[in-house]
Amino acid sequence: MTTYEILLMLDPEQAEARQDDIVARARDLVEKSGGAWHSHDAWGRRRLAYPIAHKEEGVYHLVVFDAEPATLEEMSRVLKIEDAVLRHLATRHIAGSRTSAPRDEAAAPVAAPVETAAAETATAEGEEPEAAVSGGDEPEYAGAEEEEQPGEEEE
């Protein structure tokens, strides 16, 4: 058996009970064919990059399971028929990987760069912060313009 993961994009206008029924039907398909259900991760409602079926948002679910290739084909066939499924993508799950929901940009804490943190620490201790850029005032790529390229002549 192979471990697969399917990312489902469901219609946000469907009732939550209907969305749960779709995931339950997928689980039943896997278990009836002798497969093993590993996990179901509801990622929630996300804004789409472009409208799909006149919908601006989708509800995402990630399911991970073990099954035979024939079971995956049957599940894909069923998901294509289902009107509440806007899109689905089945891939082979990589052992040891952990797929998780993408974080929202506003909610994600931003880590301070190492150079900035070192400068703040040095300033707090009363020392002069070290310069992050080595060399002169010009960027490192400035000298590339002065080099003559082969085949070019100066006027």
Where does the pLDDT of residue 107 fall: very low under 50, low under 70, confident under 90, or very high at 90 and above? very low
pTM over 0.75: no
| Cβ(11)–Cβ(84) below 8 Å | yes
Where does the pLDDT of residue 126 fall: very low under 50, low under 70, confident under 90, or very high at 90 and above? low
| Cβ(3)–Cβ(68) below 8 Å | no
Q: How far apart are CA 95 and CA 144, in angstroms?
A: 46
- Determine the average pLDDT of the residues in 112-121: 48
pLDDT score at 117: 47
* pLDDT tens figures, 15-32: 999 999 999 999 999 999
Domains in the chain and their CATH numbers?
Answer: 2-92 (3.30.70.60)
Does the pLDDT value for residue 152 go beyond 60?
Answer: no
Between residues 33 and 108, the one the model is more confident about: 33
